[in-house]
């Protein structure tokens, strides 16, 4: 398998942490998916018309995306039955938490583009504030339900950890830990996993 | 089940089309959100304040739209909209990802076009339109595959195309994608699509 990769992308990190935790990372060759949010990498656009990272190319040559589809595929490939509970409340709860983490990342990444890519005179404070508040509410919810996150490598926990890692990476000055001591303590422990320390974002 | 919804949301439409195809429409109680009240209304159940959000009888909230569709697909005994395993599953989910990604771009274009002119970034808008056109062109090349099986994939693509008609105009995509247009016009006749049409512009 091949994975279009970039060290700064939180969605790529989510996939790579999943692969490391599943013990199948050595079956995946990482290819530089180097792209800006604006200009697509040509090889990536060839494999995936959406031209987004991450994109996985399976051993059969099929391109898969987006990150949640790739994670699910890797779980099936690895024959793992604990990372995403098969059914029941735990199953939907894990997928909901993954969606919550993705929602944090979508909003944070949009804010980052707004601040980093758009010329200053074209930025729109009101719009960015809406995205910021979305993250605030989602983090408050995670603080309330932190007991359900657990210490193991479930898909929900991986996604939340990658979302928090991204906030540290791009929005460290906003101190998400300040009013969320339980989530901060959970993350401090979870981020010690080798899958996390090997994938600290850069770039 | 309660579904926070809006007739203008293409992600809501995808969920409603899926429910309709599965014979589950009548089990959904729609609660309409507006741009003004959506955050206040939905955030007690989904802190992201986004629609669609499904709330089960026991108060369990389910989101986002792919997860809601996945959940609905467990509530019936018809052929699944998301094949349970094998290549068909990944194909369906990947196509859904294309439809959803097109919607992300189309919504961003529509929102950006609505910004005050001095806050609009034409270069960014162009790049988003380019992304959309690349997806449309890939779908046109493979339009025949959309007829193979009714899964969440073609439903997501149809909802994306319907939204392009609704917000960016018919001429945005139809002239350059005749096969896709012919497929969409047939698909749009399905009762599930007719029952969930976006309202007039606005």
How confident is the model at residue B202, as a pLDDT? Answer: 45
Pick the CATH number of A2-78 from 3.10.180.10, 3.40.30.10, 3.30.420.40, 3.30.300.340: 3.40.30.10
CB B3 within 8 A of CB B32: no
DSSP code per residue over A115-146: HHTS-GGG--HHHHHHHHHHHHHHHHHHHHTG
Contact B131 A69 (CB under 8 A): no
Q: What are the respective helix, strand and coil percentages of chain A, to the nearest 5?
A: 60, 5, 35
Q: How confident is the model at residue A116 (pLDDT cuts 50, 70, 90)?
A: confident
Are B52 and B114 in the same domain?
A: no
Q: Which two tokens stand for residue B184?
A: 């969409």
Domain hosting residue B56, numbered range: 2-72
| Tens of pLDDT, residues B76-131 | 999 999 999 999 999 999 999 999 999 999 999 998 888 888 888 888 889 889 99
How confident is the model at residue B201, as a pLDDT? Answer: 56
- Name the pTM for this structure: 0.95
| Helices of type H across B61-190 | 65-72, 87-113, 122-141, 152-163, 178-187
Buried b vs exposed e over A114-131: b needs ≥16 C-beta within 10 Å? Answer: beebbeeebebeebbeeb
> Does residue A119 carry a pLDDT above 90?
no
List, in order, residues 6 or more apart from B36 with CB less than 8 Å away.
none
| Tens of pLDDT, residues A131-178 | 999 999 999 999 999 999 988 999 999 999 999 999 999 999 999 999
How confident is the model at residue B38, as a pLDDT? Answer: 95
The whole-chain average pLDDT of chain A stands at 92
> Does residue A92 carry a pLDDT above 90?
yes
How confident is the model at residue A123, as a pLDDT? Answer: 76
**DSSP helix/strand/coil, A166:** helix
In a domain, B21, yes or no: yes
How confident is the model at residue A120, as a pLDDT? Answer: 78
The average pLDDT across A20-34 equals 95
Are B42 and B12 in the same domain?
A: yes
Contact B60 A92 (CB under 8 A): yes
Residues 141-200 of B with CB under 8 A from A: none
**DSSP helix/strand/coil, A21:** helix
At A200, phi and psi to the nearest 5? -60, 130
Name the minimum distance, in Å, from the CA of A51 to any CA of chain B. 8
> Does residue B165 carry a pLDDT above 80?
yes
How confident is the model at residue A20, as a pLDDT? Answer: 98
Neighbours of B58 (CB within 10 A): 6
Are B48 and B110 in the same domain?
A: no
Contact A72 B93 (CB under 8 A): yes
> Does residue A37 carry a pLDDT above 60?
no
Contact B62 A92 (CB under 8 A): yes
| Tens of pLDDT, residues B121-158 | 888 889 889 999 999 999 999 999 999 999 999 999 99
Every domain of chain A and the residues it spans: 2-78, 88-193
Find where tokens 């909003």 sit: A107
DSSP-assigned letter for residue B57: T
In a domain, B124, yes or no: yes
Domain boundary among B28, B43, B72: B72
> Does residue A39 carry a pLDDT above 70?
no
How confident is the model at residue A8, as a pLDDT? Answer: 92
Report which of A51, A70, A49, A60 is spatially closest to residue A3, judged by C-alpha positions. Answer: A70
In a domain, B198, yes or no: no
How confident is the model at residue A96, as a pLDDT? Answer: 95
How confident is the model at residue A36, as a pLDDT? Answer: 61
Report which of A5, A2, A39, A51 is spatially closest to residue A201, judged by C-alpha positions. Answer: A5
CB A75 within 8 A of CB A84: yes
Give the CATH fold of the A88-193 domain.
Glutathione S-transferase Yfyf (Class Pi); Chain A, domain 2 (1.20.1050)
CB B98 within 8 A of CB A66: no
Contact A38 B101 (CB under 8 A): no
> Does residue B14 carry a pLDDT above 60?
yes
End-to-end CA distance of chain B, in Å? Answer: 28
The average pLDDT across B41-61 equals 96
What is the rounded distance in angstroms from the CA atom of residue B12 to the CA atom of residue B93?
17
Residue of B59, B97, B99, B106 best to disrupt the A interface, most CBs of A under 10 A:
B97
Q: Which two tokens stand for residue A151?
A: 């210490």
Residues 165-194 of A with CB under 8 A from B: none
Q: Number of C-alpha atoms within 13 angstroms, CB side, residue B88?
A: 12
Neighbours of A54 (CB within 10 A): 26
Query: B49: left (phi > 0), else alpha (psi -120 to 50), else beta?
Result: left
Q: How confident is the model at residue A114 (pLDDT cuts 50, 70, 90)?
A: confident
Are B154 and B63 in the same domain?
A: no
Residue of A38, A47, A49 best to disrupt the B interface, most CBs of B under 10 A:
A49
In a domain, B185, yes or no: yes
Smallest CA–CA distance from B141 into chain A, residue: A49
Q: What is the ipTM of this complex?
A: 0.93
């Amino acid at each position: 398998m091949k994975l279009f990769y970039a060290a700064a992308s939180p969605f790529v990190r989510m996939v790579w942490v999943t692969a490391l935790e599943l013990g199948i990372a050595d079956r995946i060759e990482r290819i530089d998916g180097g792209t800006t949010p604006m200009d697509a990498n040509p090889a990536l656009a060839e494999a995936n018309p959406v031209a987004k990272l991450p994109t996985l190319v399976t051993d059969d040559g099929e391109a898969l995306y987006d990150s949640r589809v790739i994670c699910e595929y890797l779980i099936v490939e690895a024959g793992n039955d604990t990372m995403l509970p098969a059914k029941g409340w735990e199953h939907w709860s894990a997928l909901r938490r993954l969606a919550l983490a993705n929602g944090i990342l979508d909003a944070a990444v949009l804010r980052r583009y707004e601040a980093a890519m758009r010329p200053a005179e074209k930025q729109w404070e009101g719009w960015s504030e809406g995205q910021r508040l979305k993250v605030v509410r989602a983090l408050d919810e995670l603080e309330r339900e932190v007991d359900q996150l657990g210490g193991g490598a479930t898909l929900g926990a991986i996604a939340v950890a990658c979302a928090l890692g991204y906030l540290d990476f791009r929005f460290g000055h906003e101190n998400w830990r300040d009013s969320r001591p339980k989530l901060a303590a959970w993350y401090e422990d979870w981020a010690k996993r080798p899958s996390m320390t090997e994938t600290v974002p850069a770039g | 089940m309660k579904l926070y919804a809006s007739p203008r949301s293409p992600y809501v439409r995808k969920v409603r089309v899926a429910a309709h195809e599965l014979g589950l429409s009548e089990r959904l109680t729609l609660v309409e959100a507006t741009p003004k009240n959506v955050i206040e209304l939905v955030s007690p159940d989904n802190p992201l304040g986004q629609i669609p959000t499904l709330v089960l009888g026991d108060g369990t909230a389910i989101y986002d739209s792919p997860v809601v569709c996945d959940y609905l697909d467990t509530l019936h005994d018809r052929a699944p909209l998301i094949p349970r395993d094998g290549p068909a599953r990944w194909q369906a989910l990947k196509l859904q990802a294309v439809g959803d990604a097109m919607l992300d771009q189309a919504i961003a274009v529509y929102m950006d076009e609505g910004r005050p002119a001095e806050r609009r970034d034409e270069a960014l808008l162009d790049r988003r339109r380019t992304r959309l056109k690349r997806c449309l062109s890939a779908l046109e090349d493979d339009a025949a595959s959309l007829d193979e099986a009714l899964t969440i994939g073609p439903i997501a693509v149809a909802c994306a195309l319907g939204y392009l008609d609704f917000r960016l105009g018919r001429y945005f995509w139809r002239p350059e994608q005749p096969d896709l247009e012919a497929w969409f016009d047939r698909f749009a006749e399905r009762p599930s699509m007719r029952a969930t049409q976006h309202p007039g512009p606005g």
